[in-house]
Amino acid sequence: MNQDLFDDPAHWEIAPGVTLLRGFALAAEAALLDAVAAVTASAPLRHMFTPGGLKMAVALTNCGPLGWVSDAAGYRYQASDPVSGQPWPALPAAFAQLATQAAAAAGFGNFEPDACLVNRYQAGTRLSLHQDRNERDFSQPIVSVSLGLPAVFLLGGLQRSDKTARLPLSHGDVLVWGGPSRLRFHGVLPLSAGTHPLLGDQRINLTLRRAG
Ligand code: SIN
Ligand code: FE2
């Protein structure tokens, strides 16, 4: 683990292709929170079911041309919200700009997301180890923005059985993974209860991808 790549404690290359940008989203905080409120008002957070029929603990919604969905038919991206039948809300400019800037800061130029998954965690919500592999082009990174309550992110390896590192993520942190780390397993430990001054009892994670 290499803490001094750019001699900047806020810019930490944890492993090849994995960069933690601490506080990177704070400058855009107000615009991001306004946009989260607008997106969730038009496409409400909901619990989806895994292909195996289990209700997911994380509540989610999407914005952008493509949205990630899960149901009995499998995991996939689609252009419409299965609840409303309408297109997902547009990708807010604040999300797209932050994602492009964070990707560039992590060494991935010209990242133009076409999908943003919005995940909501409440006390006890966890996300089990998985790979992000429903996207078409694995040369494009994943940009993950943490808002609200802190969480512990699990960063695994390319095999499910590889050991995981625990990475505390706080409000405003942005984690980027791509290149040789694009298919690393990852997850989130059960959220600890708390109250965030801006978001209350929840953690919101934005995951920006180039899906199509
Ligand atoms: C995800 O893997 O989709 C979300 C990760 C996170 O909530 O930090
Ligand atoms: Fe993921």
> Which position has the higher pLDDT, 152 or 1?
152
What is the atom index within ligand 1 of the atom nearest the CA of 146?
A: 8
How many angstroms separate the alpha carbon of residue 10 from the centre of ligand 2? 22
> Which position has the higher pLDDT, 9 or 105?
105
- Return the structure tokens found at 97: 């700009």
- Indicate whether 3 belongs to any domain: no
Q: Is the pLDDT of residue 108 over 60?
A: yes
Q: What domain range includes position 142?
A: 11-209
Q: Is the pLDDT of residue 3 over 50?
A: no
> Could you tell me the pTM of the whole model?
0.95
- Indicate whether 4 belongs to any domain: no
DSSP E strands in 64-126: the ranges are: 67-71, 74-78, 115-122
Q: CATH number for the domain including 45?
A: 2.60.120.590
Phi, psi dihedrals of residue 200, rounded to the nearest 5°: 70, -130
- Indicate whether 2 belongs to any domain: no
How many angstroms separate the alpha carbon of residue 84 from the centre of ligand 1? 24
Structural domain count, the chain: 1
Task: Return d(Cα 133, Cα 27) in angstroms, integer.
Answer: 30
Q: Mean pLDDT over all residues of the chain? A: 95
- Return the structure tokens found at 154: 């699990």
User: Is 188 touching ligand 1 by the criterion CB < 6 Å?
Assistant: yes
Q: Is the pLDDT of residue 52 over 80?
A: yes
- Indicate whether 6 belongs to any domain: no
